[in-house]
Amino acid sequence: MNAPESRGHPTNQLDDLVHQRGRLGILSILADSQQADFSYLKRLLQLTDGNLGRHIEILTEQGLVTTTKGYQGKRPRTWVAITEEGRSALANEIAALKQLIEHFERSQHTRQPHHDHR
């Protein structure tokens, strides 16, 4: 993961692990809920079982989310929750994306020719 102090071009601060659209979506949903189950994430992100499972596995390996397998009656359910590391990784990624947009807007502004209205 990129440390926040490693400045330079804003793209250098994007974290490949979190930056992927599906994984960023998982972390975003979990940041605003204590936990969500596999089916909910699948429905909202419109991913296949295999895709979602792989993304969750990657995030779990990096300690950004945790999973709990439970039962609702006899029906198995997998609950996914975000960790503190996951929250800070998401916050860093969002800050980097905002910085990238700002950087682009600034460079666009300086590139625009100045019209002299004399």
Partner 1 sequence: MQPTDARTLLDDTQRLRRRARADRQATSLPLLILGAVTLLGAGLVLPTGDTDTADPLWVIGAGLGFLALAWWSARQQTRTGIGSGRGSWLAVGLALLLPTLTSLAWRPIPIRLSPSLPLPAGVLVGYLLLLTAGLPLLAAVGWWRHRGAPVGQDRDYWRTAGAMLLGLLVQSLLLATLTPLFGPLPVVAFGVLLVAAWQRNPVLAAWAVAFGTLTTLEHFLILSNRLMDLTSALGLFHAKSGYSPQAPALAYALIGLLLLAGGLLARRTERAA
- Residues lying near partner 1 in the complex (CB under 8 A) are found at 11, 14, 21, 24-25, 28-37, 39-40, 43-45, 68-74, 77, 94, 97-98, 100-101, 104-105
Minimum separation from the CB atom of position 102 to partner 1 (A): 9
- For residue 7, the 8-state DSSP code is -
Compare residues 62 and 78 and give the one whose CB is closer to partner 1.
78
CA torsion through residues 32, 92, 48, 53, sign: negative
Compare residues 69 and 114 and give the one whose CB is closer to partner 1.
69
Distance CA 105, CA 109 (A): 6
Minimum separation from the CB atom of position 62 to partner 1 (A): 19
Question: Which helix (H) or strand (E) element contains residue 77?
Answer: strand 75-82
Residue 72's beta-bridge partner residues?
A: 75
Minimum separation from the CB atom of position 37 to partner 1 (A): 4
